[in-house]
Amino acid sequence: MPSQDQASVQQIRAEVAAQVRAVPTLPAMCQRILMAINDPNTNFDKLAREASYDPGLTANVLRIANSAYFGAAQEIGSLRDAFVRIGARRLFELTVGTSVGPLMREALPGYALRRHELLRHSAWTAVASERLAAELRLRAPDMLFTAGLLHDIGKIILDPFVEAHRATLEAAADRLHANFEAAERDVLGMDHAQAGAAVLRQWRLPPQLVEAVAYHHDPEHAPAEHLLATNIVHVANTLAGASGVGSGIAEMRHSVSAQALAALHVKTAVVERVAAATLETMEELEQLLG
């Protein structure tokens, strides 16, 4: 790197890695529900009782469970109800969403994202991912909503570094004739997709979430078993940008993967329907998550 000596690059990379390790854990309830998903003998009454010790979390989860987007036909009044009516998997997604949503409200000056912009972009991508799967008549991969919601979470960690080294990053992108992620890897030692995946790994979230986040800009290299979710999140993320719900400077160099589009057989009419349907539900969801 011409503008900085190797020592300072090592220093920056070490600071970035330390920042990833310092991210606080998710509420314990997220792990509990995750375990319940994989255990057919789960005692839901016990789980609901444990969740009631965190009344703020419970209230938020119920609020979202009753929203127009997630809502069941009848009002869901308790976590026990939610387990039965929307299932442990959906409940896990709502719990993660309410826990992480508020983190995504803040402005990220490094990425030129104003307050609420990351949350809006993330919620848009989450909804569009599910709509896209439905429009394409695909069986939605597990936890697709959450993969869409968390895809750019690494930006929260990298933002102070991007802000401090913006000129170096832009020079690196020009020098490498590459996108912003390549510059992030060159200067910061990891890109925001890798940083996000590292956090999700620390949170012990399932591999389908980790991999879809890790490869959301590079679906061509995603592991085969998580390719479908990664392709969908990649296309939904692109669509968010094209619909004016972008995610700042990094995405201006984003290009859509022809391979992902071809694999999903995405047609223009489908894209238009997904964009319109997503827009309809956005406002309510964004408020609920934020």
Residues that bind Fe ion in the complex, under the rule CB under 5 A: 152
Residue number, 95 or 243, with CB nearest to Fe ion: 243
Residue number, 34 or 250, with CB nearest to Fe ion: 250
Instruction: For residues 62 and 70, give the distance between their C-alpha atoms in angstroms, rounded to a whole number.
Output: 10
String of b and e for 198-233 (b: at least 16 CB within 10 Å)? bbbeebebbebbbbbbbbbbbbeebeeebbbbbbbb
Least separation in angstroms between residue 261's CB and Fe ion is: 17
Least separation in angstroms between residue 281's CB and Fe ion is: 22
Residue number, 60 or 247, with CB nearest to Fe ion: 247
Nearest to 33 by CA among 101, 82, 106, 102: 82
Residue number, 9 or 213, with CB nearest to Fe ion: 213
Q: Is the Cβ–Cβ distance between 183 and 161 less than 8 Å? A: no
Residue number, 152 or 186, with CB nearest to Fe ion: 152
Residue number, 166 or 273, with CB nearest to Fe ion: 166
Q: How big is the chain, counted in residues?
A: 290
Instruction: For residues 111 and 255, give the distance between their C-alpha atoms in angstroms, rounded to a whole number.
Output: 17
Looking at the DSSP bridge assignments, the partners of residue 113 are 108
CA 156-162-163 angle, to 5 degrees, is 100
Least separation in angstroms between residue 223's CB and Fe ion is: 18
Instruction: For residues 31 and 48, give the distance between their C-alpha atoms in angstroms, rounded to a whole number.
Output: 14
Q: Closest residue to Fe ion, Cβ-based? A: 152
Residue number, 227 or 250, with CB nearest to Fe ion: 250
Looking at the DSSP bridge assignments, the partners of residue 108 are 113
Q: Is the Cβ–Cβ distance between 150 and 213 less than 8 Å? A: yes
